[in-house]
Structure 1
C-alpha cells in the first residue's frame, strides 16, 4: 500500500506539477532508519503485525474454511481472513522499503504491490460493512433472514465486494512509477499528467475507504443495539461490548491514516517532520486492523472457539495417546451441549 510513502515529498517522492525523479549520480543516500527511535519502533510493530496477522488469519482460514460447516457466517469470515492474510503477506515489502528508504523490487512490483495492498484494504473494509449489514438484517428481520440467507447469495456479495475493491485499487496501476530521487530508487506516484489526480485519489479513498463504511457500520450497530435492548433479546452485556469494540477498532485504526493523507494534500502549510511521522504511524495503525479482525470477528465466537479447541486437541491426541483422546471426547460432549451457541453476535 502506498501509505506514508505515497504522498511524502521527501521520504518517497510524489510528482504532481514538477519533473518526475531522474538519475542523480552525485548524491548517495544512506538509510537512517536504525538511528531514529520512531522508525525502529514502527519496524518492531510492523514485524509483530506481520507475524500475528499472517499466522492469525491463516488459522482462521484453516478453521473456518476446512474445519467448520460452510455457512453464511463462515463465508464472511473466510473472505475477510483471506483479505487480511494477503494484506499481511505483503507487509514485508512496506517494512523493507521503510528500513532501506529505497525501492529495490522493480517497476512491476511497485505497481503490483501497491495495487494488491489497496485491493485488500478496500475488500477488508467492504467485508466489514457486509458483516454489519448482515447482522443488522438478521436482528431486524429474523424470519426473512432465516429463509433467504444462503451461502450462494453470500458468495455473490463477496464477489461484488472484491470487484468494487479492484476498481478502487486501479489508480495504483496508473500512477505508480519507479525513478531515482536524491540518490535512491523510489516507488512514487506520478500525477504530472493529471492536474487534480492527487487530490481526487486521496479524497475518493477517504470517502470510499472510511467515511461511507464507517457511517454504515455505525448505523447498523446502532440499530442492533436498540433492537436488542428494546426486545431484551439477550441477558448478557457481551454483545454490546463486542459491537462497541468493533466500531471503536475500525475508527481508531483507520482515522489517523486518512487524516494524515488529507493533511498532506496541503503539505506546504504543515510541518514536514510531523506529516512524515503521522503518515508512518497511520500506516501501521491501519495495518494493525488486519490482525485485530480475526480476534474481534472470529475468536470471540463460541462456535469457532469450540472448533479450534477440538482441532488443536485432535492433533495433540496423536502424540499424547489415550489421555488426548479422553480430553477430546470430553470437549466434543461439551461442544454438543453448547451447540446453541453461535458466532453470530
Structure 2
C-alpha cells in the first residue's frame, strides 16, 4: 500500500533478502491533492528540455563551424554542451511518468534513464571543473605547462569512460516494481541495493557521489577562481596606470571588461553552487529517509531539485561561451544576420593594443580568461 506522502510503497523483497521494505517511487507520485500539478511539472520539464536543446545546439554548431574556435577551452565547452543536451533529454520521459502516475516505459528505460542522467551530470560538473583548471593554468603557469588540444580530447575521453564505468552498479540496481493500488496495479521505477549485513552499499554510494560529484569539484572551482580574482585585483592597478595614458574611451573599455570578468567568475561559482546543491541535498535526504521507519521525502521535492539542475544545463552554453570573445562575436553575428552592417566591437580595441605594446608586455588576466589556450 502507498505511504502517507504518496511517494513510497511497502513490499516484500525476495531478490536481495530485505524482507518487508520500502520503495521510493522517484518519478511517480500518487493521490495528489491537486490534479493540475502533474501538468505544471510536465510543462516545466519540457520547457527546460527545449531551451537546453536549442541553446546548447546553437552554441555547439557555432563553435565547430570555424576552425579558429577549436581551442582547448572550446573543446571543453562543446563537451559541456553535449553533456547538457543528453542530461536534459531525459526530461520528456520524466514528464510522461509524472502525467501517467505510473511507470509506463519499461525496465530498460528505467535503468538507462537514471544511468545516462547520472553520467551526464557528472561529466557536466567535471567539465566545468576542468575549464576552471585550464584557466588557472593559463594565468599562473608557463606556456609549456598549458593543456594542449590533444590533451583536452584525452581528458574528455577519460572522463566519459570513468563515469560510464562508475555508474554501472546504479543501472544494475534500478528496476521496475509492481504494487497493488486500489483496484489496479501500479509500476514504479525504483532503486534497491543488495542486502549486505556488513556494509550499507547505498550509504557508501551516496557519500561517494556527493564527495566526488559535488564537494571536490566545488572546492577546485572556488580555489581556481578565487586565485584568479586575487591576482586580478593585484594587477588591476598597474594595468589601469598603463591604460590611463590613453583616451578616456580606452579606460572605460578596460574598466567595463574588468567588471565583466569579476561578475562572470562570481556568477560561475554561484550558479554551480545554487543549481547543483539542491539535487545532492535531496539524494542525501532520500538515503537518510530510507534508513528510518517513517518516510518523509516526496518525489515532488526530487523533481523540483532536478528542474533546478536542468536550469544549469540551460544557462551553461551562454555562461561559458560569453567568456570567449571569438565565439561571442560569432553568436551575435548569427543572431543579427538580418543586418550585416552591424559591427560588433572586439574586446581589444586598436588603441588598447597599441598601449599594451608600448607600455605593458603580455596579456591581461581578462584576456587570458577569454582567449584560447
Q: TM-score, normalised by structure 2?
A: 0.75
| Residues 41 and 98, structure 2, Cα contact 8 Å, conserved in 1 | no
User: Using the alignment, how far apart are the partners of 2:11 and 2:318 within structure 1?
Assistant: 36
For the residues of structure 1 that align with 2:29 and 2:302, how far apart are their CA atoms? Answer: 21
**Aligned counterpart for 2:329 among listed residues 288, 306, 309:** 306
For 1:322, the equivalent position in structure 2 comes to none
Task: Find the aligned partners of 2:348 and 2:38 in 1 and give their Cα distance.
Answer: 50
Q: Deviations over 1:233-269 (max 9, x none)?
A: 6742111111111111111111111112212222265
| Preserved contact between residue 302 and residue 343 of structure 1 (Cα < 8 Å) | no
How many residues end up aligned between the 2 structures? 318
Q: Paired residue for 1:181?
A: 179
Alignment RMSD (CA, Å): 3.3
| Structure 1 pair 137–131 and aligned structure 2 pair: CA distance change class (3 A) | same
5 Å-filtered alignment, 1:4-43, equals 10=8, 17-18=18-19, 35=34, 39-43=38-42
**Distance apart, 1:216 and its partner CA:** 0.9
Aligned residue number for residue 81 of structure 1: 81
Which residue of structure 2 lines up, in the alignment, with residue 110 of structure 1?
A: 110
**1:42 CA displacement:** 3.1
Greater Cα radius of gyration, structure 1 or 2: 2
Mapped partners of 2:135, 2:29: distance in 1? 52
Q: Determine whether 1:288 maps to 2:289.
A: no
Distance apart, 1:45 and its partner CA: 2.3
Describe the superposition over 1:47-81 as per-residue Cα deviations: whole angstroms up to 9, x where unpaired.
Answer: 22111111111111111122452111210110000
CA deviation map 1:91-140 (0-9, x unaligned): 11122122223221212111112111111011011101100111111111
User: Partner of 2:192 in structure 1?
Assistant: 190
Q: Does 1:265 align with 2:287?
A: yes
Supply the distance in 1 between the matched residues of 2:87 and 2:142 (Cα, whole angstroms).
34
Q: Which digits, 9 at most, give the CA deviation of each residue in 1:124-183, with x for residues without a partner?
A: 1110110011111111125345xx432111111111221222123222222111221232
1:10-43 C-alpha deviation (Å, 9 max, x unpaired): 1799978235899xxxxxx996569256544433
TM-score, normalised on structure 1?
Answer: 0.80
Matching of residue 328 in structure 1 with residue 330 in structure 2:
no
Structure 2 unaligned residues grouped into runs of 5+: 1-5, 240-253, 354-365
- Over 3 Å counting, the alpha-carbon distance change for 1:14 and 1:231 in structure 2 is farther
Match of 2:208 in 1: 204
Partner of residue 161, structure 1: 159
Q: Which residue pairs with 2:226 in the alignment?
A: 222
Question: What is the alpha-carbon distance in structure 2 between the residues aligned to residue 309 and residue 94 of structure 1?
Answer: 34
> Which runs of 5 or more structure 1 residues have no equivalent in the other structure?
1-7, 23-28, 317-326
Q: 1:122–1:168: 8 Å Cα contact kept in structure 2? A: no
Matched, 1:64 2:63: yes
**CA offsets 1:254-285 (integer angstroms, 9 cap, x no match):** 11111122122222659745544432321211
Aligned residues of 1:20 and 1:190 also touching (Cα < 8 A):
no
Pair 1:124 & 2:116 matched: no
Match of 1:248 among 270, 279, 298: 270
1:4 is aligned to none
